[in-house]
Amino acid sequence: MKVFGVTGLPGSGKSIISRIAKKEGIYTISMGDVIREEAERRNITTGKAAVILRKKYGNNVVASRCVTKIKNHSKNRHNKRATVKKMYNSHTNHNKHPPKKYKKIEQDIYLIEGIRSPYEVAYFKKQFNNFKVIAIHSSPNERFNRLKRRKRNDDSPDYNKFVERDQRELNFGIGKVIALADYMLINEGPIPNFKNNVRALITNEIKPKRKNINRKRKSKNKNKSKQNRKYQKGKKQYNKHNNRKNNNKQNRR
């Protein structure tokens, strides 16, 4: 199992990574969604809900809820993998070609969006081996303009409230999480450029494509067969030439 966390201040571009990851077949969980669910249940703002949850249940409350979601999802995937393996083996044992739906299920890869405190990072590292953090940096003006365009319930068009929200996030310890992240992405220019950088990170680090060894072997065999054909042709031509020479010598005698 591979688990990655995404961190960044509001409006930095965390949701863009989640959307691209989902398209790549990576299971994503938003820590912000957990807080928003609690805010709706209590009928309060998300900022207050985040503070109340951490005060009442501890710093790892949101992280622990995300871990339970990941473990439940992973169990279901493993059960599905086991049934697929049985059905696949039953087809191969009876010398039948297995259907396409019995193809091997990919490795479990998870992405947790919205890590805010070093306590959460430490908790995830205890739960998952090789847990890594991806940080996104963007300037305050750029982020404020994005939040104004986004117009989500917790996005305010007032710059002072935007600064207060940033300060609340920094009080949780998000600055330390960004500083100690394993990967850093800058989201300042056009969004398509940032999306390309995200896709490059996913293909190179999060979900690297397996090299097809069989194709390489086939290509090598093809090259060898071509060389053999050329050699055989050359050998035939050489033998023909020698035979002609020998025949001419015999005729002269």
Quote the pLDDT of residue 247.
65
Band of residue 56 on the pLDDT scale cut at 50, 70, 90:
confident
Tell me the pLDDT tens digit for each residue of 157-177. Answer: 889 999 999 998 999 899 999
Mean pLDDT of 132-156: 90
Average pLDDT, the chain: 81
Structural domain boundaries in the chain: 2-206, 214-253
Tell me the pLDDT tens digit for each residue of 2-46. Answer: 999 999 999 999 999 999 999 998 999 998 888 888 888 888 888
**Of the CATH numbers 3.40.50.300, 3.40.50.11540, 3.40.1160.10, 3.40.1280.10, which one belongs to the domain with range 2-206?**
3.40.50.300
3-state SS string for the chain: CEEEEEECCCCCCHHHHHHHHHHCCCEEEEHHHHHHHHHHHHCCCHHHHHHHHHHHHCCCHHHHHHHHHHHHHHHHHHHHHHHHHHHHHHHHHCCCCCCHHHCCCCCCEEEEECCCCHHHHHHHHHHCCCCEEEEEECCHHHHHHHHHHHCCCCCCCCHHHHHHHHHHHHHHCHHHHHHCCCEEEECCCCHHHHHHHHHHHHHHHHCCCCCCHHHHHHHHHHHHHHHHHHHHHHHHHHHHHHHHHHHHHHHHC
pTM: predicted TM-score of the whole model, two decimal places: 0.69
Band of residue 252 on the pLDDT scale cut at 50, 70, 90:
low
